[in-house]
Amino acid sequence: MKRLTIDIVPGDYTVCRLPAGTEPPRIEGAGLVSVTSTPTGVSVVCPSDVAPETEHAHPGWRLLTVRGPLEFDLTGVMAALAGELAAAGVSLFAVSAYDTDHVLVKATDLQRAVQALREAGHETG
């Protein structure tokens, strides 16, 4: 895997789930926002200060973004990041966008995640 540059995005993020069939919320201008609707529910990832209120909200995540754009034929980016973080005992929540990949880690694991990525040869900033 080639060396990646990974930005540590400031701020706290929340991962939450809304009931199936819920109209996906419109959250604009707040940084990374990902809304995914499936037959079992609506998943939302967004900055904590604009997160929808729900009993299934999990705040306390930090966002790591691979500096892009990444080419569509580039393979193994998420596999490399996931493997490096797993080896360090850091769980993740992955989100991909058109031109790059994002990984959320619990805020309590941020330093361990950054250290693991640096030891694997990636640049973080």
The structural domains of the chain, with segments of one domain joined by +, span 5-124
pLDDT for 71: 85
**Calpha distance 68→37 (Å, rounded):** 25
Mean pLDDT by 10 residues, the chain (125 residues): 91 97 85 94 96 95 95 88 97 96 98 98 94
This prediction's pTM: 0.93
CATH topology of domain 5-124: VC0802-like (3.30.2130)
pLDDT for 85: 98
For residue 106, what is the enclosing H or E element? strand 101-106
Mean pLDDT of the chain: 94
